[in-house]
Chain A
């Protein structure tokens, strides 16, 4: 059960998202939030390659 009482700091993480690190054009970006619209769309479309 989650105790919803953030004032006394018995919980941590309210409103905090996950970081999703992706390679953009050779370099890494700590979060997809900073991608421009085109790169966001591209990232979403990426399919995995089987070995």
Chain B
């Protein structure tokens, strides 16, 4: 085909970037050839040559033609000479490339903003409030995340799904991790610690003290966090840590016993060591808190040469007393360290502390109770400067007969949880007695107690394997949310139309979740050296390193979420569910409809499709922004900067706390992937603990699954005051930004020991 241009054309053409390159007619010929082949058009080589010559002739008079001009001519000639199908393919090809070029410049624009703006001016750097977007690693994380999202949208997602995400019909959460991993997992530390474990970067022996238990709890959370994109949770924190308390108690007991033997019985160190060995060999069961007499009975039955019975009694009592004191102290320190670690180790991609949650409150053993009590006490104390700990998310599991009523063995811990939450916002409260949680509960089996993680996720039911309806080792695989208010607006008050489009959108999301699940399923155990290779995820211990994980992942959940039920109801009926009974009835009908559809999908596929009351942090603004651009400002629907969270009554709507709980509770029963309800209280809740408890109890009585009370927790870092601060700090009297004389702070410290110290000479 060299003959197409006899006279070499020495002209230059201008590329889009502005640079000049030599004109090459072969490129025109190839483009026509490709377009025609792509659609199977009936073009001959002669046709290609002929059309190329026509294009060359058409631009002959132009000094320096641009790429766009040449492409226009190609289109024109294809149409003029009757190659309509190829013309269409060529036009599409051009459009596609334009889109790609534009989106590439879009990505570069994002990178520019990440690089040259600070987070105060760039919302994109504040999408997730616990990442500091101004730090090096925070920015690096965003580069990776934005680049990945771009890749997923343009090269991985099926077109209709990419379009639905881009235009805001749906939102695929954590899309940057689409090709990589799953959301979250409930980690059973008892199973992990047994015989030790490897983090993938080093082997750790089975821990032998409460401090090591607590330290390794953090390590486990951290290791798993770096293999998953969502939160990490310990579902049985008190039960798991109790083992560490027992070990510490026994260590301390024998430490005291050896000291006693040396001081009171005149033993040499070696003899004392030998005595410990004899006792340990003779008594199989460890010494337990509050059951010391059981141990004593066995001890006095041992043949301990040279010690009289009276001495054994005194030795035992002394050792118990000492050991109790030190065990309590060490447990306290261990819990303090745990909270500090989880608030300070920025080990998630170097920019974030792990997203940790711990569930506790139901272990009635003295050791488990000590753990819970010390954890709450450490939370109450706050961090080093008295700050309120942000992590871990703490969840107190409320259960009738265990901690709910006065007289229940852990009622004192429930009370302690309430006073702690009234000061520090944590713990939140989960309710095992809510019917949808209680149906799985088996007394004495913590694995059947509901545990929540991160923002609100839960697992319990298991359609894939009904014999494994449990919490440990399971979690969410991925979730995608539906823009419910848009469906409401588009329906123009026609309910049938609304349900039709809701079903269509749900079908689309289900297809998308399955698309993602297929990618996840193809991963191998070796892609998750901790989560899968250490047997954290349920049944993964049965797999080899090269096995794919698809089958065990089926224990996880695929969740469809939603946002803005309030705005949806407003669009459909003119009222939200706080304002009208009819709206509430419709709200429940809509959410029930969604749940039924997902239950049916679970039946059909044998997978766990569940319904999520989406947490929606970054999403809260995204949908409404898009809808405002599309439909304008509609009162009560698009006139704010956010859509209301999941099924919540709008935050701006004045309503009594009990009423809010009543209205939101039935949605908890429907959203089996997770949910949370809040009540906002004013003033210092520490001053009114009975009211606080009344609300928590009401949540339980109404069938709420997971709830908490919000109240203002302000802190002045200068004088260390924690409480409510208006414009002026009630302790040191300064306004924001003002300074205080150090002398005054020194004076205040005499009254309030938590006032930070300042070095005057520096």
Q: Which of chain A's residues has its CB closest to B127's CB?
A: A36
B313 at the interface (CB under 8 A from A): no
Interface size on B, residues (CB 8 A): 78
Determine if A51 and B694 form an interchain contact, defined as CB atoms under 8 angstroms apart: yes
B736 at the interface (CB under 8 A from A): yes
B132 at the interface (CB under 8 A from A): yes
User: What are the residues of chain A within 8 A of B760 when measuring CB–CB?
Assistant: 8-10
Q: Mark B617-660, 1 if CB is under 8 A from A, else 0.
A: 11011101000000000000000111001000001111111101
Chain A residues 1 to 42 lying within 8 A of chain B, measured CB to CB, are 2-4, 6, 8-30, 33-42
B607 at the interface (CB under 8 A from A): no
Interface size on A, residues (CB 8 A): 44
Determine if B656 and A49 form an interchain contact, defined as CB atoms under 8 angstroms apart: yes
User: What are the residues of chain A within 8 A of B624 when measuring CB–CB?
Assistant: 38
Q: Which of chain B's residues has its CB closest to A17's CB?
A: B736
B425 at the interface (CB under 8 A from A): yes
Chain B residues 687 to 732 lying within 8 A of chain A, measured CB to CB, are 691, 694-695, 708, 710, 712-719, 725, 729, 732
Q: Determine the distance from Cα of A27 to Cα of B398 in the docked complex, in whole angstroms.
A: 19
Q: Determine the distance from Cα of A6 to Cα of B132 in the docked complex, in whole angstroms.
A: 28
Determine if B710 and A26 form an interchain contact, defined as CB atoms under 8 angstroms apart: no
Given A9-B759, A49-B655; A23-B739 close (CB under 8 Å): no
Q: Determine the distance from Cα of A11 to Cα of B732 in the docked complex, in whole angstroms.
A: 12
Determine if A34 and B717 form an interchain contact, defined as CB atoms under 8 angstroms apart: no
Q: Mark B91-129, 1 if CB is under 8 A from A, else 0.
A: 000000000000000000000000000011001001101
Q: Which of chain A's residues has its CB closest to B393's CB?
A: A27
Q: Determine the distance from Cα of A48 to Cα of B130 in the docked complex, in whole angstroms.
A: 25
Q: Determine the distance from Cα of A4 to Cα of B712 in the docked complex, in whole angstroms.
A: 31
Determine if A48 and B715 form an interchain contact, defined as CB atoms under 8 angstroms apart: no
Q: How far is the CB of B359 from chain A (nearest CB, A)?
A: 13
Q: Which of chain B's residues has its CB closest to A24's CB?
A: B129
Q: Which of chain A's residues has its CB closest to B231's CB?
A: A27
* Interface hub of B676, B708, B742 (most chain A Cβ within 10 A): B742
Q: Mark B388-422, 1 if CB is under 8 A from A, else 0.
A: 10110100000000000000000000000000000
Q: Determine the distance from Cα of A25 to Cα of B454 in the docked complex, in whole angstroms.
A: 9
Closest 10 CB pairs of A and B: A38-B621, A26-B455, A13-B718, A41-B641, A11-B739, A25-B615, A48-B682, A49-B657, A14-B739, A38-B642
Q: A6-B739, A11-B739, A23-B425 are in contact. List 5 more A-B contacts (CB 8 A).
A: A2-B738, A21-B714, A27-B393, A42-B640, A46-B710
- Listed by A's residue number, 21 A-B pairs whose Cβ atoms lie within 8 Å are A2-B738, A12-B742, A13-B734, A16-B736, A18-B714, A20-B725, A22-B713, A23-B710, A24-B617, A25-B455, A26-B393, A26-B454, A26-B615, A27-B454, A28-B391, A36-B123, A37-B126, A38-B624, A40-B641, A41-B641, A42-B640
